[in-house]
Amino acid sequence: MTKPAPAGRQAVPAPPGGHGETAAETGAPARLRIGEAAQRTGVSERTLRYYEEIGILAPAGHSAGGCREYGQLELERVQRIRELQELIGLNLEEIRGVVTREDRLGTLRDAYHQSEDPSERRALVLEALEMTEALHERVATKVVRITDFRDELAGLIGRYREVLDGLDAVPV
């Protein structure tokens, strides 16, 4: 990581497209190489390669020479991964479970899969639904706990302020 980058909540800036030739013109959805992809997402290049290595993030494609290329989808996926990792506290193994299930579901939307066995498609959606519900449950619990904790801190701050006022009332 060369530049820490506020790590805040700015959305991943879409790949360039300076004036008019965004994607609809070129057909190619504006790909980034690993260096810039790393900068935009705020992770290291090594991290992107590692994510690929363990199978949670594949580049959108490769250049003729073999350089990884990432599109908007992949950048957002990195954000998703980081969110699950830092915010929820999942490890990459658990994250793999989440994203692969989402991927399998994503293939459903592709037209050439519409012909598949309907009951199997139902099973896929159901599986994704159940996993999402489990994740939601987990997150909801965490929201409650962390909210409580925040309020405790607020109370603590109030008491500190009182003590401080008490001390100020009796100056040196």
Partner DNA sequence: GGCGAATCTCACGTTGACGTAAACTGCGAG
Partner DNA sequence: CTCGCAGTTTACGTCAACGTGAGATTCGCC
Task: Tell me whether residue 66 or residue 118 sits nearer to DNA (CB atom).
Answer: 66
Within 44-63, the residues that bind DNA by CB under 7 A are 44-47, 49-50, 63
Contact between residue 142 and residue 88 where contact means Cβ atoms under 8 Å apart:
yes
- Measured from the CB atom, is 97 or 124 closer to DNA? 97
Say how many C-beta atoms besides its own lie within 10 A of residue 166's C-beta. Answer: 9
Nearer to a copy of itself, 53 or 130 (CB): 130
- Region 74-103 residues binding DNA, contact defined as CB under 7 A: 85, 91-93
Alpha-carbon distance of 60 to 74, in angstroms, equals 7
Q: Which one of 17, 22, 23, 33 is in contact with DNA (CB under 7 A)?
A: 33
CA distance 115 to 133: 27
- Interaction partner, residue 150 (a copy of itself, DNA, none; CB < 5-8 Å by kind): a copy of itself
Alpha helices in the chain (DSSP H): 34-41, 45-53, 72-82, 92-109, 118-169
